Amino acid sequence: MTTLNRCTSCRAALRVEETGRQGCLACQQTAAQGLRDLSGRTGLYAALSGALAPSGPAVGPRTSGGASEPSLGCDARVLDLMSPTTGVHAVLLSWTVDWYRLMGLRLQDPRFETLCRTLAFHVDWAARQHPAWADFATELRRQVALCREVTGQADRRPTVGTCRRILPDRTECGGDLRYDPETVTTRCRACRTTAPVDWRAVRAAVTRTAA
Ligand SMILES: [Zn+2]
Ligand SMILES: [Zn+2]
């Protein structure tokens, strides 16, 4: 008799080699990839400042009475993500401090690149045993997705089909299936279920993108 353990993040059943973990290996790899995508001079975080309007914030009519609401356009969302108190940096910083605390360490260098490297270095530990692994994985995915949205940097993983999974409410999921070459898996963007890799669809999608 075996108990069926599930990944606390995507709820997929854990495989034998993943027994006892909080998160499955696919979610761990997604998190590691997210940290890689955010970091570096060409990464998503660095691209945020370029996503602000080139004309700068001081252009346009100003109201002294403050009666008119500023439009919540792309710039407001970019500024949110760049905010030192609530933005991407702050989110990663609080997780790094939290992980270090659990490991009995103290964070010396709070720079963004160091945080990305530190979290990536310990991501296997966190996916194995951090009690709030699912919260971290969800929050990181959200930050990466928001950065992609405002910078216009599309996810490079090709769409290879539509998810046919029947959801608990008996409707079909219908989410985009994305193939990730790094993990060699196909996963639904909506319900996060992995699907068997359809090589013909992957080849066709890659050829389409290259064209
Ligand atoms: Zn998972
Ligand atoms: Zn789905």
The domain total for the chain is 2
Q: Which of 112, 131, 154 is the last residue of a domain?
A: 154
Q: Which range marks the domain in which residue 110 is found?
A: 21-50+74-154
Residues that place a CB less than 5 A from ion ligand 2: 163, 165, 173, 175, 188, 190-191
C-alpha 130/C-alpha 8 separation (Å) is 11
Q: How confident is the model at residue 12 (pLDDT cuts 50, 70, 90)?
A: confident
Task: Confirm if 127 and 33 have CB atoms less than 8 A apart.
Answer: no
Domain assignment present for 40: yes
Pairing of strands 185-188, 159-162: unpaired
Residue 59 lies in a domain: no
b/e burial code for range 55-94 (CB count within 10 A of at least 16 → b): eeeeeeeeeeeeeeeeeeeebebbeebbeeeebbbebbbe
* pLDDT tens per residue across span 72-87: 566 899 999 999 999 9
Same domain, yes or no: 146 and 163: no
Question: Which ligand sits nearest to residue 192's alpha carbon?
Answer: 2
Are 31 and 106 part of one and the same domain?
A: yes
pLDDT in tens, 114-142: 999 999 999 999 999 999 999 999 999 99
The number of the ligand nearest the C-alpha atom of 21 reads 1
